[in-house]
Amino acid sequence: MDDVSYLLSARAVRERSHQLLALGLADKLPHFRIDIAGLDAIADVVLDVTRKAYPDGEVPFHSRWRHFVVGGVDRWAAIADKVNWPNAASRARAEFDLAIASVLLDAGAGAAWRYHDEASGFSVGRSEGLALASLEMFASGAFSSNASDPLRADAARLRQLTVADLERGFQVGADNPLVGLEGRVELLRRLGAVVAASPEVFGAKDGPRPGGLFDRLAAGGRIEAPSILQQVLRQLGPIWPSRLTLHGTALGDCWRHPSLITDDATTGLVPLHKLSQWLSYSLIEPLQRAGLVVDNIDGLTGLAEYRNGGLFVDGGVLSLRDPADAARVHEVDSPLVVEWRALTVALLDRLAELIRRRTGQTAEQLPLARILEGGSWAAGRKLAFARRPDGSPPLTILTDGTVF
């Protein structure tokens, strides 16, 4: 595996995160100390949250599809089940379109933004609100250039999206600000451009649309989850704002940390691929619904985002060497943030092992995707609201809406 392919893989995310964890356990990291014994108490919280949310023990995967369920009603299923799809693949393409657009729109919303859902009367914030807003836009044909086929996203329409389109769809105003709005619009425009430029990937069965990626993944009838990520990173990688590159290839959600030292061109580089991995998790169910077998789901990693990261800070496993850093605003590429995010990925693996031992389950029975959903993400949110009235993360990160 060459250097670029390695960095664009779940394996690299896991290995490099654990390298930083090993340094942290040896008290050799510049920004965080680690109290690994605190994982026991965090496991208690995660198990408690999981049992309350899923008393029957049937925990689904952590993915975008969970956010489309409101008040026990699966909004997407209610729409999709009424459509006379020509075949399973056509529904899967639409679900890929929806998942890709919705996940790319789901960087952090900020504490102030809310979406008023007319169907339920609820005002919903954060990821759930962003999910409902994107679903309503998708269902209304906001991402389709074909009025007779609204349930799609296509290259032509995505490239034409404006800030005003998202302001309307996301109910943004002076009294309802959304963090990173311009970054989200630019990301979808770039998605349209990338899809249009690669018809052999995205237009093999139905003219260029993100959902064309389904046909590429479905070719063999069976796929490993890390291969989904590999295709997501390879085919959609050019949509991300230009950050680090290696041998002319953009590395996406990959950053520098001075403590990560190797003897090759990848020294100092820490890949995390948070949004791409969450998207990969979100593509598993459409593939399965279309009849494909998805193996090695645990080959993907935990997600380096502020709910899981906040779980370990608020839960006492991670503590800042300089307490004043809690009051500072940090750039997303700062070594402190990179360190925090990488430690989050590695600690989620440790937490998963602990929870499986306690529940007597194997990785196949309880993959990380279920622990995240059950789970660690909800527990991170619970601790955040217990410590801060607005539920904000324990660290303040300056981001453009394309990382978290």
Backbone dihedral angles phi then psi of residue 25, each to the nearest 5 degrees: -65, -25
Predicted confidence at residue 336, as pLDDT, reads: 98
d(CA 113, CA 124): 9
Backbone dihedral angles phi then psi of residue 253, each to the nearest 5 degrees: -80, 70
User: Which has the higher per-residue pLDDT, 351 or 120?
Assistant: 351
Confidence of residue 239 (pLDDT cuts 50, 70, 90): confident
- Any idea which of 31-40, 45-54, 296-305, 394-403 has the lowest mean pLDDT? 394-403
User: Which has the higher per-residue pLDDT, 81 or 184?
Assistant: 81
d(CA 13, CA 10): 5
Query: Where exactly are the structural domains of the chain?
Result: 3-398
Residue 143 scores a pLDDT above 60: yes
Could you report the per-residue pLDDT of 365-403, keeping only the tens digit for each?
A: 999 999 999 999 999 999 999 999 988 899 999 876 566
Residue 203 scores a pLDDT above 90: yes
pLDDT > 90 in the chain, percent: 80
Residue 221 scores a pLDDT above 90: no
Predicted confidence at residue 241, as pLDDT, reads: 74
Least Cα distance to 285 among 133, 54, 69, 46 occurs for: 69
Predicted confidence at residue 250, as pLDDT, reads: 87
What does 186-207 look like in DSSP terms, one character per residue? HHHHHHHHHHHH-HHHH-SSSS
Backbone dihedral angles phi then psi of residue 376, each to the nearest 5 degrees: -65, -40
- Any idea which of 96-110, 140-154, 277-291 has the lowest mean pLDDT? 96-110
